[in-house]
Amino acid sequence: MSLNDATTRIEHVFSGTFAHSTQSAALEILENCVLGVDDEGKIAFIEKDPDVDSLSKIWGFDASERIKLGQYEFLMPGMVDTHIHASQYSYTGTALDLPLLDWLNTYTFPVEAQYKDLDFANNVYTKVVRRTLKNGTTTACYFATIHTDASLLLGELADKFGQRALVGKVCMDCNSAVPQYKESPDQCKAETDRFIIELLKKEYSNVKPVVTPRFAPSCSASLLSELGEIANNNKLHIQSHISENKQEVDLVKTLFQDCKSYTDVYLKHNLLTNKTVMAHGCHLTDEELKIFHERGSAIAHCPNSNISICSGMLNVRNVLNHKVKLGLGTDVAGGYSPSILDAIRRALDTSKALTIQDPEHQTLTFEEVFRLATLGGSEALSLDDQIGNFVVGKDFDALRVNVCVPGGPIDLFPGEGPKAVLEKFLNLGDDRNITEVYVAGRRVLVTEHHWPPFTSIVWTQNQCK
Ligand code: GUN
Ligand code: ZN
């Protein structure tokens, strides 16, 4: 007989080591802990050094059925990719030899134009959702393309495979290099309205629309205003790009001469809100960062892309000092890796490169970057009331990590405690170490390891939809 109020049913209980971030600590490691997840996918309790028998009586679960994490296992929050182009996944790992504007015209726009073909879209979008989930991305903030039906399909696939997602139908009415890849301003507004209405009508619990002007050079001033109005009227998220490369910043200066800065372009068109995430921001001035702070807008730091297409090096320390929200993004395919583990490593590399240039620069720590990949990402997407760490009442979005899988990439040695084990996973681990993925309490992926080394993946698709 359970002593808790009879409406809460406990669905999963885990015991062992958990790693997460809090408001005050970049890394908190909880050893000998028990965490319970209720039937709505929310964290019901988390207790350190618990008396499991009395907990099981209070919450009405069978203590013998709890999942006991092994010596080389831990739970961590699911990772958040605050900026990824699902539509560019087909050529990830290629085409990194041109700077941004040429890269867009030569590689990106011709590929994105193909998404009017829904079979093509289905193939790529299925693969990107599966690949990112397998790599521990429980929440993705996606750019799709200008095509409404293919963008809706991306939302459907994220829901089907159980990934939490913000999905953006791309808006652009200016494209002189590849003129077949744009919409008229009227078409763009009408299709954005249709996209939002249709996606919301599906009532997916964890997939929502995000208003997505591609970036200032692709949008007329009147389109930017329309999109600002749509987002604000419907209280929707907004995503775009800002100050990624210097040539782009100069272009924006010539295109929007009445605006004081690139940030001012978005500010004037009501696109900087506390639900806005702007990718890159490598060349933002301190004045502009102050505006980001005042508006509560966020930056998606995409270090792989910033180096791969030679855009710049974002000074994350300076952004954090300005108290601007910041998460990590893969920026596939400007970034060549779909894994946030890679973004963690590249963020540390960039920070160290800045320290090489200026020894006064305070290098980011691995704990801080762990925070950016989890809680920081949830803050950047204004989802930190729902996800990001292990707090009672939040959704259980989590990864079960095993650093000692057969044939895996990590070797451990005597005397290594949980902090070193986490650091090794962040620096050396990969999808082989992520053995289970949970989104809102549902196990959406489980990897079964066998000996001799052979791995099979079981996808647990959403049967309810
Ligand atoms: N700026 C505008 N569009 C894009 C894009 O697709 N990728 C990147 N990296 N920057 C952009
Ligand atoms: Zn991008």
The rounded Å distance from CA 331 to ligand 1 centre is 8
How far is residue 249's CA from residue 270's CA, in Å, rounded to a whole number?
Answer: 19
pTM as predicted: 0.97
Ligand 1 site, residue 214, Cβ cutoff 6 A: yes
How far is residue 158's CA from residue 137's CA, in Å, rounded to a whole number?
Answer: 11
- Asked whether residue 3 is assigned to any structural domain, the reply reads no
Same domain, 214 and 192: yes
Same domain, 147 and 234: yes
- Asked whether residue 355 is assigned to any structural domain, the reply reads yes
Report, as an integer, the average pLDDT of 299-321: 98
Residue 144 has pLDDT above 80, yes or no: yes
Ligand 1 site, residue 311, Cβ cutoff 6 A: no
Report, as an integer, the average pLDDT of 78-97: 98
Ligand 1 site, residue 325, Cβ cutoff 6 A: no
Structural domain ending residue among the three candidates 349, 380, 411: 380
Same domain, 222 and 156: yes
Q: By the 8 A CB rule, do 287 and 299 touch? A: no
Q: What is the pLDDT of residue 7?
A: 72
Report, as an integer, the average pLDDT of 58-80: 96
Same domain, 90 and 51: no
Look at ligand 1, atom 8, and give the residue with the nearest C-alpha.
334
- Asked whether residue 408 is assigned to any structural domain, the reply reads yes
Query: What's the pLDDT band for 18 if we cut at 50, 70, 90?
Result: very high
Q: What is the pLDDT of residue 196?
A: 98
pLDDT more than 70, % of the chain: 95
CATH of residue 207: 3.20.20.140
| Total tally of structural domains belonging to the chain | 2
Same domain, 115 and 179: yes
Residue 247 has pLDDT above 80, yes or no: yes
Ligand 1 site, residue 303, Cβ cutoff 6 A: no
Q: Burial letters for 67-93: b for 16+ Cβ neighbours within 10 Å, e otherwise?
A: eebeebbbbbbbbbbbbbbbbbbbebe
Ligand 1 site, residue 345, Cβ cutoff 6 A: no
Look at ligand 1, atom 7, and give the residue with the nearest C-alpha.
334
Q: What is the pLDDT of residues 339-365, one digit of tens each?
A: 999 999 999 999 999 999 999 999 999
To test the pocket of ligand 1, the residue of 92, 104, 182 to mutate (highest count of ligand atoms within 8 Å of its CB) is 104
436 Cβ neighbours under 8 A, 6+ residues apart = 399, 400, 443, 445, 446, 447
Beta strands in 100-151 (DSSP E): 137-143
Structural domain ending residue among the three candidates 317, 349, 380: 380
- Asked whether residue 281 is assigned to any structural domain, the reply reads yes
How far is residue 283's CA from residue 297's CA, in Å, rounded to a whole number?
Answer: 16
Structural domain ending residue among the three candidates 322, 348, 380: 380
How far is residue 368's CA from residue 386's CA, in Å, rounded to a whole number?
Answer: 21
The rounded Å distance from CA 265 to ligand 2 centre is 18
Q: By the 8 A CB rule, do 77 and 20 touch? A: yes
The rounded Å distance from CA 430 to ligand 2 centre is 23
How far is residue 184's CA from residue 126's CA, in Å, rounded to a whole number?
Answer: 29
The rounded Å distance from CA 333 to ligand 2 centre is 8
Range of the domain at 139: 79-380
Cα separation values, 62 from 37, 72, 208, 408, Å: 13, 24, 36, 33
Q: By the 8 A CB rule, do 113 and 181 touch? A: yes
- Asked whether residue 1 is assigned to any structural domain, the reply reads no
Same domain, 454 and 407: yes
- Asked whether residue 2 is assigned to any structural domain, the reply reads no
Which amino acid type is present at position 409?
A: P
Report, as an integer, the average pLDDT of 444-458: 71
Residue 6 has pLDDT above 70, yes or no: no
